[in-house]
Amino acid sequence: MSDKLQLSPEEIRAMGRAAFEWVAEYYRGLEARPVVAPTTSEALRGLLEEPLPQTGADFATLLETVNGTIAGFTRHNAHPRAFGYVASPGSPVASVAGLLASTLASNVTGFRSAAAPTELEHVVINWLKEMLGYPREAAGLVVSGGSMANFAGLAAARSARAPGNVVRDGLAACGRRMCAYVSEEGHFSLSKAAGMLGLGEANVRSVKTDARFRIDLDHLESLVRQDLDAGHLPFCVAANAGTTATGAFDPLAEVAAVARRYNLWLHVDAAYGGFAALAPSARHFFAGIEAADSVALDPHKWLYLPVGCGSVLYKDPATARAAFSHAAEYTRPLGLERDEAFAFWDYGPELSRPFRALEIWMQIKFAGARRLGEAVEENLACARYFEELIRATADFEMLAPVELSVFCFRYAPAGYAGDLDALNERILLALQRAGGSYLSNARVRGRFALRGCVLNYRTRRRDMEILLEDVRRAVEEVRAS
């Protein structure tokens, strides 16, 4: 009998066979599942809640709970018609990588703690730079996701542009407001980061956007000049490489020119759209990316990895060290010099760090950049195809142009005199309850939108047709009620 912690090789093999049989069946049966099954918190508590277990259960019982309850009542982001949000679909090879990384239990703080995992992370960062067309001398690290990458980029910007050492002395030593500029389509994590960094959310200026939801350069300059005239310190502009709501892509080279003119740090939030650089049809969007001082990326989006794999890149590694480097006796790398003295905590906010880079490395090595690029290209084509389907109808309308793979539309029948926002909200809820396809929502120029994002290598054009069929069924249900 096992003691539940120290397992024999035979017991481990038996667990592995059962687990991977479940994984294989899960992927095989994805399309037969609803994207999400309706439930309630009370119902799930009834299935899961119990007193603290004092003795262990057998693995087969645990796997039954995973299969029946946990997998039964979660949103399946790997489903080919899970279009809600910018969802990470995961992949079989990443499942294996997660097992291997948790087996090693590496704490990737730096070379001393995890020599090979540290070097592998450097390799992965170099690959990400190459995919993006970012300078070879740049540095970076893997973080938990785009929000943390935006936080790190803004922290580096704050330190680089403040007059004095704000890390040591605080923002009061600056003597004036430090102002950042983000388009009205920018991700909320940038404002949240400004609040956490002491810059103040009120000092994040919202810049208007043009007809394609890209940052309005004239309005950006006018806001910068207003802050200069008021005695404030403009220090950073964040450009979007694929917004969450509409997929809009700011003109990076033109934003970079404004940044140079006013000595602004240029941060590019490419958490969603960054790996569209692998697709030839989207490559032109990335002209000027090399001018960015920092870039936020999410391999757990368009590299199809599980949640938890973000990345931040810094054009000048010294700027990150100024923001994050900290010395403590218990972290001093005794007997190590140069590269062997490297520590990731000098470049980001975390000390303890899981071996996230293994999933990225295995995905890229196993699939290859060319195949990943083909999958991204197919996602872009699916979104454009759905736009064509909508424009061919008489009772639906697009609310934003398809720039990458996000699509925003609504049901708008001719002569309808009621509240279109309320009607489309009811349609969305009916669609989500049905489970065949899943959309989320956005507000586009004040109008409620049915919003989807194609971010799954399993999705095909037929899925876009099925989506429209499912939406029509939801419309019929709502109109009949």
State the DSSP string of 435-450: -SSB-EEEEETTEEEE
| Residue 99 within any structural domain of the chain | no
Q: What is the mean pLDDT of each run of 10 residues along the chain (481 residues)?
A: 82 96 96 95 97 94 96 96 93 96 96 94 97 96 97 97 92 93 97 97 98 97 98 98 97 98 98 98 98 98 96 96 78 59 91 96 98 98 98 98 98 96 98 97 97 98 98 97 87
Residues 144 and 190 reside in one and the same domain: yes
> Which has the closest alpha carbon to 144: 348, 382, 419?
348
Q: Long-range contact list for 12-17, CB < 8 A, 24+ apart?
A: 14/59, 15/59
Please state, in angstroms and rounded to a whole number, the distance separating the CA atoms of residues 426 and 418.
13
| Residue 438 located in a structural domain | yes
Closest CA to 302 of 353, 386, 249, 374: 374
79 inside domain: no
Q: pTM above 0.85?
A: yes
Domain of residue 167 covers 106-367
> Which CATH number goes with the domain that contains 468?
3.90.1150.10
22 in a structural domain: yes
* C-alpha span between 5 and 281 (Å, rounded): 51
Same domain? 440 vs 457: yes
Same domain, 296 and 313: yes
**Chosen domain end from 74, 93, 125:** 74
pLDDT for the residue 338: 60
Say yes or no: 291 and 380 in one domain. Answer: no
In this structure, the answer to whether residues 383 and 428 fall within a common structural domain is yes
> Do 374 and 363 share a structural domain?
no
Is 343 inside a domain boundary? yes
The pLDDT value recorded for residue 333 is 61
In a domain, 273, yes or no: yes
Distance between CA atoms of residues 382 and 455, nearest Å: 10
**Per the structure block, which two tokens stand in for 88?**
């990470």
Q: Same structural domain for residues 333 and 468? A: no
3-state secondary structure the chain: CCCCCCCCHHHHHHHHHHHHHHHHHHHHCHHHCCCCCCCCHHHHHHHHCCCCCCCCCCHHHHHHHHHHHHCCCCCCCCCCCECCCCCCCCCHHHHHHHHHHHHHCCCCCECCCCHHHHHHHHHHHHHHHHHHCCCCCCEEEEECCHHHHHHHHHHHHHHHHCCCCHHHHCHHHHCCCEEEEEECCCCHHHHHHHHHCCCCHHHEEEECECCCCCECHHHHHHHHHHHHHCCCEEEEEEEEECCCCCCCECCHHHHHHHHHHCCCEEEEEECCCHHHHHCHHHHHHHCCHHHCCEEEECHHHHCCCCCCCEEEEECCHHHHHHHHCCCCHHHCCCCCCHHHHCEHHHCCCCCCCCCCHHHHHHHHHHHCHHHHHHHHHHHHHHHHHHHHHHHCCCCEEECCCCCCCEEEEEECCCCCCCCHHHHHHHHHHHHHHHCCCECEEEEECCEEEEEEECCCCCCCHHHHHHHHHHHHHHHHHHHHC
The answer to whether residues 411 and 295 belong to one domain is no
- pLDDT value at residue 1: 46
Comparing C-alpha atoms, which of 131, 148, 199 is closest to residue 312? 148
Question: Where a domain ends, among 345, 367, 389?
Answer: 367
Does one domain contain both 135 and 259?
A: yes
Q: Please indicate, yes or no, whether residues 110 and 242 belong to a single structural domain of this protein.
A: yes
What's the domain count of the chain? 3
Please write the tens of the pLDDT for every residue from 100-135. 999 999 999 999 899 999 999 999 999 999 999 999
The rounded distance, in Å, linking the Cα atoms of 354 and 352 is 7
Q: Which residues pair with 182 in a beta bridge?
A: 206, 238
Domain boundary among the residues 347, 367, 387 is at 367
What values do phi and psi take at 208, rounded to 5?
Answer: -60, 165
Indicate whether 232 belongs to any domain: yes
Residues 68 and 183 in one domain: no
Q: Is residue 412 part of a domain?
A: yes
| Same-domain status, 355 and 381 | no
